[in-house]
Chain A
Amino acid sequence: MLYTSPALETLIERLSSLPTIGRKTAARLAIYLFKQPDAEVKSLAEALYHLKERVRTCSVCGNITEDDPCAICRDPRRDQSIICIVEEPNDVLVIERTNEFRGLYHVLGGSLSPLDGVGPDELRIRELLLRLSEEKGVREVILALDPNVEGEATVLYLARLLHPIVPRITRIARGIPIGSDLEFVDDATLAKALEGRLLV
């Protein structure tokens, strides 16, 4: 069904081009927004506008920031000798939440995926190599990529590439989430964890 307002129609079209949003949901959101007070909608529009105007990627690590370089890269208290490589900016937040990592990050912007046309040139690998040649003191690179075949291939590719220039290359282990009952862990994770069992 088409609405009688071209402006509304345009908004629905824009919204439905977003990931996971179908036309029906887009229409519902648009009508909802229409019913909101002016100020609400204006502040949403401003937020969208500032997203592109103020937010940028850090030229050092590729994380999302408003100041370049980002707060993590500028922080002198962080261990400059360890770099943790992740796929997306969101992964930085996830690891930061643990409070267990005090080194620096490098955001690749995805993982190798020939089916989607993503090769090494599409990831921030050149930037990584450049960074490693400039920052001499890096002792360890941690590869914290997603536990799927794309992540695995990316780990293998990077390991080969970084071997001659970084003394220590590690990857994060995959296992069972802490605090979850075994019965609620999905079968695949449990099967892999059983295979990688440890001596006690």
Chain B
Amino acid sequence: MISGQNGAGKTSILEALSVAALTKSFTEAADNTLVQTGAENFSLDAQFLSDLGVGLRSKVEYHLGPPARKSIHVNNDKLRRASDLIGRIPIVALTPDDKVITGGSPEERRRFLSLVLSQSSRLYLEDEIEFRKALRHRNSLLGNLREQGTSIARASALLAPWTEVVIERSARIMSRRATFIKEFSPFLLESYELVSGASESPPLRYAPMGFEHDAESAHQLRAFLEEEHNRREQEELKRGMTLIGAHRDELVILIAPEREAKRFASQGQHKSLLVAMKLAEFSYLRDATNETPILLLDDVFSELDAARSHRLLQLIASGRFGQTFISSTTRENFDEMIDFSSNQHRLFVVASGKIETR
């Protein structure tokens, strides 16, 4: 547990762990904002120990430039791409900003899917990186074609290869997401019960652009996307953007049949759901990667009511999770439930940029 006043630098410590494991902050903050004011670079050197006792040393260095430079070393080998680190040190972070997962736009839930799946499947991560690149190319091309008023026949021929890449990657990504939803649901059910104390189950539904069939079949998805594309290419040309693909699907969280959490959940249900999603993410990743993820809870307890807070802390104290980093401004509830004098739990106090062990 890391305790300290607001602005003392607690979150920075958790962010550092996130950068060391995922190469970026869980706050989605751009790298240049992570550099201390007045400084030109940051440098991180972290050592991890896997469940099997294998050591992994991750070094991330960033220089503002210009041009900005970022280098990542794993066990002293320089990585060719930042994405090569992702998934090797599974990590789950929960922050007050994550509220948007249950309450925000579809994009936020796609980001959630993407973060979990990227850490659990190398191929998925590659598909996503390639999909995003191809999508940007296709959108840029659509924009140019609209501007130049290119004939439909010529535009179609120029778009065709990019359409094919976007559809092929989308079908793979979407079928992987559909399978994930199926595998993830039991974990979510279990953790929702633990967090809320209730036995109601929040079902998930994967709704890729009105596709009604077996979304796990990449083959069927591809056929569906091709059909949609034929129907909508003219509209795409008119609007200058890609309207079909993995960037348009949606994960729907329901609190009851046909009642979408985003609209119908109470404040309390939203909080239970969010914590449950994150704990389920933890269990899912542990299962998928055969490695206990690191859990980061950034200023979460101030957001929860006494009962939920108590249950979550109880879960953590029970040793159910692996190494957990908690940041909090208050210590009241912690002292009575967690024995900081034991070797299992450690308390750090952050004040004016310095960390002290208590």
> A residues within 8 Å of B by Cβ?
22, 112-115, 119-120, 148-150, 152-157, 160, 186-188, 190-192, 195
A149 near B122 with CB under 8 A, answer no
Contact between B84 and A150, CB atoms less than 8 A apart: no
Residues of B close to A153: CB separation below 8 A: 134, 137, 161-162, 164-165
- Are A195's CB and B123's CB within 8 A? yes
Asked whether A115 lies within 8 Å of B84 as measured between CB atoms, the reply is no
Q: Are B80 and A156 in contact (CB under 8 A)?
A: no
Whether B84 contacts A187 by the Cβ 8 Å rule is yes
B contacts, CB < 8 Å to A? 67, 80-81, 83-84, 87, 122-123, 125-126, 130, 133-134, 136-138, 140-141, 144, 157-158, 160-162, 164-165
Known interface pairs A114-B144, A156-B161; A188-B122 also in contact (CB < 8 Å)? yes
C-alpha gap A152/B130 in the complex (Å):
10
| Chain B, Cβ-Cβ closest to A159 | B161
A80: shortest Cβ distance to chain B, in Å? 28
The 8 Å CB contact of A156, one of B83, B126, B144, B160, is B160
Quick one: which of A22, A186, A192, A195 contacts B84, CB cutoff 8 A? A186
Q: Which of A115, A119, A155, A191 contacts B126 (CB 8 A)?
A: A191
Cα-based distance from A192 to B164 in the complex (angstroms): 19
Q: CA–CA, A149 to B130, complex, Å?
A: 6
B123 near A191 with CB under 8 A, answer: yes
Nearest Cβ on chain B to A172's Cβ, whole angstroms: 17
In the assembled complex, the Cα of A182 lies from the Cα of B161 at a distance in Å of: 33
- What are the residues of chain B within 8 A of A190 when measuring CB–CB? 122
C-alpha gap A113/B136 in the complex (Å): 10
Q: What's the Cα separation between A23 and B157 when bound, in Å?
A: 43
Please pick, from A22, A155, A188, the residue contacting B83 in the complex, using a CB distance under 8 A.
Answer: A188
**24 A-B pairs whose Cβ atoms sit less than 8 Å apart in the complex:** A112-B137, A113-B137, A114-B138, A114-B140, A114-B141, A115-B137, A119-B158, A148-B130, A149-B133, A150-B137, A152-B165, A153-B137, A153-B161, A156-B164, A156-B165, A160-B160, A186-B84, A187-B122, A188-B83, A188-B125, A191-B122, A191-B123, A191-B126, A192-B123
Q: How far is the CB of B168 from chain A (nearest CB, A)?
A: 9
A195–B157 Cα gap in the complex (Å)? 30
Are the CB atoms of B158 and A120 closer together than 8 Å? yes
Measured between beta carbons, the chain A residues less than 8 angstroms from B134 are 149, 153
Q: Other than the known A153-B137, A191-B123, A192-B123, what 14 A-B pairs have Cβ atoms closer than 8 Å?
A: A112-B161, A114-B138, A115-B136, A119-B141, A119-B158, A120-B158, A148-B130, A149-B133, A152-B161, A152-B165, A155-B161, A160-B160, A188-B126, A192-B126
List 5 A-B pairs, minimum CB-CB distance, nearest first.
A156-B161, A114-B141, A191-B122, A153-B161, A157-B161
Bound CA span A147–B239, Å: 31
The residue of chain B having its C-beta at the shortest distance from the C-beta of A188 within the complex is B126
